Amino acid sequence: MTNLDRFRLGLVAFLTFPFLILIFFFRFHLDLSGAELWWALKNSFLQSFLSAFFAVLVGFFVALGLFGIKKKWLRAIFELLALLPNFLPALFILVAIFNFVDPFPSGILGIVIVHTFIYFGLAAVLIGNQIENRLGGLVEQAWIDGVSKFSFYIHVFFPMMKKEFLGLFLFLFIMCFTSFSVPLVAGGGRGTTMEVLIYEKMRLSTDWGAAVFLSFLQSAIVLGISWYSYRGQTALSLHQVSFFWLRSRLGLLLFICLLTAFCLGYTQGLIDGLSQMNFFYELRFALLKQFFGSLVLGLLAGALTFVLLFCVVWARPQDWFGKFLRSYLAPSTALTGFAFLALGMNYGLGPWIKIPLAFVLLSMTNLFRMSWESSIQSLESQRTMAQVLGADAWAIFRFVEFPQLIGRASFLSGLVALWTVGDFAVSRILASKDISLAMMTETLLSSYRISQASVLSFFVFLVGALVFIFFIGAGRVLSRKFSL
Amino acid sequence: MVSVRHVVIYLLLVYLVLFLAVLNRQQKKEGFDDVNTVRIFAYSSFTTLTGPGPKLKELFEKTCNCRLEFVEGNDAGMLLQRLKLESESLGADLVVGFDQYDLQNALTEYKWRKLDFSNLNLEPEVKPALANSYFVPYDWGVLSFITRKGDLKTLPTKLDDLLNSEYTRKIALQDPRSSSPGMQFLFWVIRTKGEEEGFRFIQKMFDQVHSYSPSWSMAYGLFQKKKASLVYSYLTSPLYHELVEKETDYQALSFMEPLTVQYEFLGIPDFCKQCALAEQFVNLMLSPEGQKIIMESNFMFPVLKDVRKGTPFQTVNDQLIRDKNLLPFEIPSNTDIERLLKRWSELRRGEKN
| Per-residue pLDDT reduced to its tens digit, A408-443 | 899 999 999 998 998 888 888 888 888 999 998 888
Q: Report strand pairing: B94-98 vs B67-73.
A: unpaired
> What is the reported pLDDT for A261?
78
Residue A227 has pLDDT above 70, yes or no: no
Rounded to two decimals, what is the model's pTM? Answer: 0.84
DSSP state of A238: -
Residue among A188, A202, A348 minimizing CB distance to B27: A348
> What average pLDDT does this structure show over A198-219?
79
DSSP state of B329: P
Q: Which of A94-103, A171-180, B63-72, B147-156 has the lowest mean pLDDT?
A: A94-103
From the list B323, B202, B212, the residue with the least C-alpha distance to B258 is B323
The more confidently predicted of residues A230 and A85 is A85
Residues of B in contact with A196 (CB under 8 A): 177-178
Q: Which of A267, A347, A442, A470 to mutate to test the interface with B (most CBs of B within 10 A)?
A: A347
> How near does any CA of chain B get to the CA of A180, in Å?
9
Q: Give Cβ neighbours of residue A418 (< 8 Å, ≥ 6 apart).
A: A83, A86, A87, A298, A464, A465, A467, A468
Interface of A with B in 239-278 (CB under 8 A): 265, 269
**Rounded Cα gap, residues A393 and B218, in angstroms:** 53
> What is the reported pLDDT for A69?
83
Residue A362 has pLDDT above 70, yes or no: yes
In a 13 Å sphere around the CA of B294, the CA atoms on its Cβ side amount to 24
Q: Give Cβ neighbours of residue B120 (< 8 Å, ≥ 6 apart).
A: B286, B303, B304
The more confidently predicted of residues B251 and A448 is B251
> What is the reported pLDDT for B94?
94
A314-317's contacts with Cβ under 8 Å and 24+ in sequence apart are A314/A7, A314/A393, A314/A397, A315/A4, A315/A7, A315/A8, A315/A11, A316/A4, A316/A8, A317/A368, A317/A373, A317/A376
Q: Do B48 and A429 touch (CB under 8 A)?
A: no
**Rounded Cα gap, residues A110 and A106, in angstroms:** 5
A202 in B contact zone (CB under 8 Å): yes
> What is the reported pLDDT for B30?
52
> What is the reported pLDDT for B10?
61
> What average pLDDT does this structure show over A317-338?
84
Q: Do A334 and B16 touch (CB under 8 A)?
A: no
> What is the reported pLDDT for B353?
41
From the list A277, A434, A425, A90, the residue with the least C-alpha distance to B51 is A434
Residue among B24, B77, B211 minimizing CB distance to A206: B77
Q: Do A184 and B213 touch (CB under 8 A)?
A: yes
Q: Which of A228-232, A309-313, A391-395 has the lowest mean pLDDT?
A: A228-232
Q: Give Cβ neighbours of residue B25 (< 8 Å, ≥ 6 apart).
A: none
Q: Do B70 and A432 touch (CB under 8 A)?
A: yes
Query: Per 3-state DSSP, what percentage of chain B is helix, strand, and coil (rounded to 5)?
Result: 45, 20, 35
Band (pLDDT 50/70/90 cuts) for residue A19 is confident
CA dihedral in degrees (A103, A105, A111, A112; nearest 10)?
-100
> What average pLDDT does this structure show over A73-88?
82
Residue A2 backbone phi and psi in degrees, to 5: -80, 165
From the list A336, A248, A377, A33, the residue with the least C-alpha distance to B346 is A33
> What is the reported pLDDT for A76?
81
Band (pLDDT 50/70/90 cuts) for residue A208 is confident
Collapsing DSSP states into helix, strand and coil, what is residue B229?
coil
Residue range A146-166, pLDDT digits in tens = 788 788 888 888 888 888 888
Q: Give Cβ neighbours of residue B86 (< 8 Å, ≥ 6 apart).
A: A346, B71, B92
Band (pLDDT 50/70/90 cuts) for residue A238 is very low
The more confidently predicted of residues A144 and B222 is B222
Q: Do B351 and A334 touch (CB under 8 A)?
A: no
Q: Which of A41, A108, A198, A206 to mutate to test the interface with B (most CBs of B within 10 A)?
A: A206
ipTM of the complex in this document: 0.81
pLDDT along chain B (353 residues), means of 10: 59 64 56 72 86 94 91 77 74 90 86 87 88 91 95 94 94 90 95 95 91 89 92 95 91 92 93 92 95 95 92 81 79 88 81 45
> How near does any CA of chain A get to the CA of B99, in Å?
12
Interface of B with A in 276-335 (CB under 8 A): 299, 334
Residues of A in contact with B88 (CB under 8 A): none
> What is the reported pLDDT for A123?
92
Q: Do A203 and B214 touch (CB under 8 A)?
A: no
Residues of A in contact with B45 (CB under 8 A): 443, 446-447
Q: Give chain A's mean pLDDT.
A: 84
